[in-house]
Structure 1
Amino acid sequence: MGQLQTGPEGPQGLPLGNHRLFATADLDEARARVAQVYCDHRLEVMGRGPLAARHNRLDGQDLSINVLTYGAKTQIAPGPLEQFYLFQFPLHGHASVNTGARGYEIGGGSGGVLNPDDEVSMIWSEHCVQLMLQIDRRALEQAARAEFGLPHRAALRFDGPKALTDGEGRSFLGLLQFVISETQRGAALLGRGSALGRQLERTLLVGLLQSQVRPTEADAPSPRPGHAPRMVRRAEEFMRENLGAALMIEDIASAAGTSVRSLQAAFRARHGCGPMTVLRDMRLERAWEELSNPGADTRVTDVATGLGFFHLGRFSEHYRRKFGCSPVETLRSALRA
């Protein structure tokens, strides 16, 4: 994990050091401070080593990235988490996890996700340092429905540890490392409510799902005959009504009442391209309408940014490819008429 690796040398080397939540050697304080952001729990020191609790935390909108160590060997018993899922990946040491139905170990390149309804208790080894992703329950379930077609009444459950040393697991950890590294450099990628932050959070959720579950084509029911055209029409109506909004494909799929995979398949069958390409074409057509019927204050830049085109060079390139002229030429021609 490169920069995310840490050792038992102390809190100075913990990732997200510029987002410290607390540092304490007092057991009651550590329990209370962790409970404020997670949930009430029992915390006991089991080993002879001194407690040296350190918690760094980066808050986003639907998730937070956490680095936590207690220094000493500890037992943690939160019971059901209820409102959130918790991904855990030991950067150093290991942890034993008991969910009531089964027990397992994480560490040495493996991690796991705690389900909200499981009766959880854990033992962290001495000097265990955990990288954790706390995720709002509804947000992760919505991502699973949108991306993998999880039925609305079905429960999203994770089962035991997964190795994260290659493939999708390694990619997911690499994305986490990027966010942490940029944060340590002073970049504010999460927590500002920006379109970039929202998209980054969604990418983290999808990355976690891909690294922990293995959905198949059977997971998502095939659209009923006649359902796909209605799905596409609903999506297109939603897009036309929100051309100036910062839409993501998940928003469109939700409005159409389907999953991202089903929506993409339906659009390719009908249009030969994905929904975001259709959305771009709709925005270009609206731009042509506005530039062809300008007011005294109409400017190409305002029209482009108002429709979600923030890279003017690409906007002009797509516009010329579609209409055979530049946006400026359309505006000038309309003003001369």
Structure 2
Amino acid sequence: MDNTGAIQNMADTGRPRHLPLSCSPFFTSQDVDEARARVAQVYCDHRLEPMGKRGFDARHNRLAGSDLSINVMTYSAKTMIIPGALKEFYLFQYPLSGHASISNGTNCHEIGGGRSGVVNPSESTCMIWGEGCTQLMIQVRRDALQRTARSHFGLPDGQSLRFCGANDMRAQEGKAFLGLLNYAMSGDGVLGTGGLMGQQLETTLMVGLLQTQRHNLSEQSLEKSGALPRAVRLAEEYMSAHIAEPLTLGTLARETGVSERALQMAFRAGRGRSPMAVLRDLRLERSWQELSHAEPGTNVTDVAMQLGFYHLGRFSEHFRRKFGCTPSEILRKARRL
């Protein structure tokens, strides 16, 4: 099967009959333990917990180079994946169909519908793939990507590369990167064949990943250029430090030294959302952490109330929209681990 154009041509609905990269099959299985063991062979040990009622079916195609591999994976059932810290590699994820919720340390976001994300290796990770989610992934060695970031983007020696948030791949730069991935996956590509051309293709893929995914170097560039207003950074730092306190727009304006109107405009320009919408997301991310690493006696009501969510129905709906499952589902799974 020719994979050229397969990424763009796959509709974001349903589950594909044929996975891209079919010329490089890795495994298929309807057994959860077998699927977990096979994935652990090339990624890392992890917990794999089907959550939905649909029968479990896993498929994985994989093309490996020297410093990175391209993978296409799908789970038929809604599935929780808990690998902890990946340690030795970064993992780029781009859903070809369906959606997934990612919690990677304090970096929590949803991908799918044209949005991608990268999992950092040094922070604990928990993911929920929605039913029928199919993902295109690049697994890239930590040292190789750090080396590329230093040589091409000026990552200072001793500083770690850290990705954050979801990224819209529907703009021209994102489309160009996906086109490069199409080429690498096609029969015309040289990935995995060794030699200078294969090494050059891997470097080009890593540069493309760094150009299209948001990370701490791009955040620093925004701050230096003035594109990310100082008031936004100060307000977000204050939110994180006082996340369980009753914060208002007036409080944030006073702490950042600007008017409420100026703060609203700064957030619209820098984040595309209001300050209170950003605060709600930060609190939802903290609630994910509390519930997915629950201590004995933890319950959804207490976590919600402590973070200022006094309407439990709305809290549950916001949580489900952001992470793809309800707070109760996360807590139940955490108690089984």
Cross-structure match for 2:202: 201
TM-superposed deviation, 1:144: 0.2
TM-superposed deviation, 1:194: 1.1
TM-superposed deviation, 1:6: 3.6
Cross-structure match for 2:121: 116
CA distance in 1 between counterparts of 2:209 and 2:128 reads: 23
Is it true that 1:156 corresponds to 2:161 in the alignment?
yes
Cross-structure match for 1:84: 89
CA distance in 2 between counterparts of 1:16 and 1:112 reads: 20
TM-superposed deviation, 1:100: 2.9
Worse-superposed segment, 40-49 or 161-170: 161-170
Cross-structure match for 2:192: 191
TM-superposed deviation, 1:2: 4.3
What is the SS of the residue equivalent to 2:106?
coil
CA distance in 2 between counterparts of 1:38 and 1:60 reads: 14
Is it true that 1:65 corresponds to 2:51 in the alignment?
no
What is the SS of the residue equivalent to 1:91?
strand
Higher relative contact order (CA 8 A, sep 6+): 2
Cross-structure match for 1:167: 172
Cross-structure match for 1:46: 51
- Map Cα deviations across residues 267-326 of structure 1 (whole Å, 9 max, x no partner): xxxxxxxxxxxxxxxxxxxxxxxxxxxxxxxxxxxxxxxxxxxxxxxxxxxxxxxxxxxx
- In structure 1, runs of 5+ residues without a counterpart are 220-337
Is it true that 1:212 corresponds to 2:220 in the alignment?
no
Cross-structure match for 1:16: 21
- In structure 2, runs of 5+ residues without a counterpart are 222-337
Larger radius of gyration between Structure 1 and Structure 2: 1
Query: How many pairs does the alignment contain?
Result: 215
CA distance in 2 between counterparts of 1:206 and 1:100 reads: 24
CA distance in 1 between counterparts of 2:119 and 2:14 reads: 28
TM-superposed deviation, 1:188: 5.2
TM-superposed deviation, 1:170: 1.7
Q: Check whether the contact 2:10–2:16 (CA below 8 A) recurs between aligned residues.
A: no
Of residues 22, 27, 39, the one that matches 1:34 is 39
- Map Cα deviations across residues 37-91 of structure 1 (whole Å, 9 max, x no partner): 0000000100011111000000011000000011111000000000000000000
1:161 and 1:10, CA in 2 relative to 1: closer, same or farther beyond 3 A?
A: closer
CA distance in 2 between counterparts of 1:141 and 1:103 reads: 22
User: Given residue 196 of structure 1, which amino acid in structure 2 is its aligned partner?
Assistant: M
- Map Cα deviations across residues 228-251 of structure 1 (whole Å, 9 max, x no partner): xxxxxxxxxxxxxxxxxxxxxxxx
Q: Check whether the contact 2:14–2:97 (CA below 8 A) recurs between aligned residues.
A: no
Q: Equivalent residues in 2 for 1:1-337 (5 A)?
A: 2-4=5-7, 5-6=9-10, 12-180=17-185, 182-183=186-187, 187=188, 189-213=190-214, 215=217
What is the SS of the residue equivalent to 1:16?
coil
TM-superposed deviation, 1:11: 6.3
User: Given residue 147 of structure 2, which amino acid in structure 1 is its aligned partner?
Assistant: Q
